[in-house]
Amino acid sequence: MIKHSRHSILTRIRDAEMLAHRTPHSVKLLAVSKQQSIEAIAALYEQGQRLFGENYLQEALEKQTALNHLDIEWHFIGHIQRNKTKPIAEHFSWVQSVSNELIAKRLNDAHPLNLPPLNICIEVNLDNEPQKSGVSLTNLPTLAHFIQSQPRLHLRGLMAIPQANTSPQLAFQKLKTAFDTLNNQGFLLDTLSMGMSADFELAIQEGSTMVRLGTALFSK
Ligand SMILES: *Cc1c(COP(=O)(O)O)cnc(C)c1O
């Protein structure tokens, strides 16, 4: 049941916070609802979930229309096509998968003036995997400065998906180091988005402030 599932996940998050000597409730839970039904999202909302992440624009827009009456904070976490930046900038309050200046500029220019600034996480490609999106650690500072200069964007932090088939711990440590380095240079980042169903407790141990869970939350 979804109810039991969310409750037990929250307990695991709190336990991981405690073990890592993190402030209680400092880690946010993003429910990744790609390929989940409108009913499943509504049921999780009923249990108190407010942050939802979607990967595919068309699918997300349909869900948003159907769930328009609910107070959901929508995060876009999927690959961003250049010609989709306008609807993304209009219909989401967070975009966690920004990896180049062109996309950032287009999101800025399309974000409606009557809305608060669009919250941005930069997606980092930690191991320079060619098939994966995300900025390299080398190019990260330049992109961070660019996003910071955009008036309708609010740079909140970093996001990464660790390389498959390797220990995620080193990846989490690399992302945390990059996060701390930027903050030591004067950025005010508060969001380190790392950890998925298989490894979120480890991610919390390594400093995650937002875990993105799909299968662990929605299964059964
Ligand atoms: C699908 C997805 C997740 C959730 O993955 P699970 O393993 O199902 O928890 C998290 N982040 C991103 C970017 C995703 O695409």
pLDDT at 33: 98
Residue nearest to atom 10 of ligand 1 (CA): 212
pLDDT at 166: 86
Q: Report the alpha-carbon distance of residue 106 to residue 111 in Å, rounded.
A: 9
Residue nearest to atom 5 of ligand 1 (CA): 214
pLDDT band per the 50, 70, 90 thresholds, residue 23: very high
pLDDT at 13: 98
Task: Examine the pLDDT at 167 and tell me if it is beyond 90.
Answer: no
Task: Examine the pLDDT at 4 and tell me if it is beyond 80.
Answer: no
* β-bridge partners, 121: 157
More confident residue, 206 or 5: 206
Q: Which long-range contacts (CB under 8 A, 24 or more apart) does 79-84 make?
A: 79/55, 79/133, 81/57, 82/106, 84/57
When pLDDT is averaged across residues 142-157 and rounded to a whole number, the result is 98
Q: Which residues line ligand 1 (CB under 6 A)?
A: 32, 34, 55, 77, 161, 196-198, 212-216
How far is the CA of 112 from the CAs of 74, 86, 104, 118, 176, in angstroms?
Answer: 16, 9, 14, 9, 32
When pLDDT is averaged across residues 165-179 and rounded to a whole number, the result is 95
pLDDT band per the 50, 70, 90 thresholds, residue 220: low
State which ligand 1 atom lies nearest to the alpha carbon of 159.
Answer: 13
The first and second tokens of residue 4, run together, are: 């039991």
pLDDT at 68: 97
- Of 44, 123, 133, 212, which is best to mutate to test ligand 1, by the most ligand atoms within 8 angstroms of its C-beta? 212
The first and second tokens of residue 58, run together, are: 């068309």
Which tens digits make up the pLDDT trace of 95-124? Answer: 999 999 999 999 999 999 999 999 999 999
One-letter identity of residue 92? F
Task: Examine the pLDDT at 132 and tell me if it is beyond 60.
Answer: yes
pLDDT band per the 50, 70, 90 thresholds, residue 1: very low
Q: Report the alpha-carbon distance of residue 159 to residue 104 in Å, rounded.
A: 15
How far is the CA of 10 from the CAs of 22, 137, 201, in angstroms?
Answer: 15, 31, 11
Which tens digits make up the pLDDT trace of 57-88? Answer: 999 999 999 999 999 999 999 999 999 999 99
% of the chain exceeding 70 in pLDDT = 98
When pLDDT is averaged across residues 182-195 and rounded to a whole number, the result is 98
- Of 6, 32, 159, which is best to mutate to test ligand 1, by the most ligand atoms within 8 angstroms of its C-beta? 32
- Of 59, 98, 196, 204, which is best to mutate to test ligand 1, by the most ligand atoms within 8 angstroms of its C-beta? 196
pLDDT mean across residues, the chain: 96
